[in-house]
């Protein structure tokens, strides 16, 4: 169902959103379910609702601590550079972005997604920074992957490393299962 963009938020919509978020938090439910539910009731898109929610929490206008247990923590400039250096050099060694970021997140899929999303966003939005880091790595004698090379070359590389990516995923899954078994015993 296609919905048109709607400007502004009414006081009733904001109240609905934050009341539902508070209830979800009290019951240990994910905020995504709140965004989906509010979308159904208001006709807004879930992603727009999510963006509005986090913007209001960040502004402090809605006493965010009462509604959201872990505030959005932006990457520092040093973290961005370290992330890019790690992923670009890992890709040059034949590792996929997903496998590399999973290693960086020590098997934690939330951390992995945070790193992976930041990497992909930077490749898309800040090619000057990415190229600068590639040149730094190469000047140090460290091979670096260039994500802007011909798409065909990247497609061949992605196909070649699918097995490695799958192996890393299943290895992380087995480690997670082992941790879970230890927790419940």
Query: What HEC string does 91-145 produce?
Result: HHCCCCHHHHHHHHCCCCHHHHHHHHHHHHHHHHHCHHHHHHHHHHHHHCCCCCC
Report the Cα 144 to chain-centroid distance in Å: 23
pLDDT attached to residue 159: 60
> CB–CB of 130/84 below 8 Å?
yes
Write the CB contacts of 75 (distance below 8 Å, at least 6 apart in sequence).
83, 118
The answer to whether 64 and 57 are in contact (CB under 8 A) is: yes
- Amino acid 101: pLDDT: 93
Cβ within 8 Å of residue 94, ≥6 positions away: 160, 161, 164
At residue 103, the pLDDT reads 92
User: What is the helix (H) or strand (E) element at residue 21, kind and residue range?
Assistant: helix 11-26
pLDDT of 161 reads 57
Q: In the structure encoding, which two tokens stand for residue 75, read together?
A: 């990457």
pLDDT, residue 69, reads 47
pLDDT mean values, one per 10 residues, the chain (185 residues): 61 89 83 90 90 82 51 82 95 92 89 91 92 95 88 57 72 82 81
pLDDT 10s digits, 126-167: 999 999 999 999 999 999 999 988 555 556 655 655 667 777
């Amino acid at each position: 169902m296609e919905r048109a963009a709607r400007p502004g938020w009414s006081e009733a919509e904001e109240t609905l959103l934050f009341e539902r978020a508070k209830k979800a938090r009290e019951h240990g439910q994910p905020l995504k379910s709140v965004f989906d539910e509010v979308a159904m009731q208001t006709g807004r898109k879930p992603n727009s609702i999510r963006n509005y929610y986090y913007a209001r929490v960040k502004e402090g206008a809605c006493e965010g601590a009462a509604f959201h247990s872990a505030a959005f923590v932006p990457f520092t400039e040093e973290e961005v550079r370290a992330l890019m250096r790690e992923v670009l050099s890992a890709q040059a060694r034949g590792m996929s972005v997903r496998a590399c970021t999973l290693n960086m997140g020590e098997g934690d899929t939330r951390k992995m997604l945070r790193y992976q999303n930041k990497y992909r966003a930077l490749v898309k939005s800040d090619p000057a920074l990415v190229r600068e880091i590639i040149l730094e790595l190469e000047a140090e004698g460290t091979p670096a992957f260039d994500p802007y090379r011909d798409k065909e070359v990247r497609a061949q590389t992605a196909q070649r490393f699918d097995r490695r990516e799958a192996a890393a995923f299943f290895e992380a899954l087995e480690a997670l299962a082992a941790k879970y078994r230890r927790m419940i015993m």
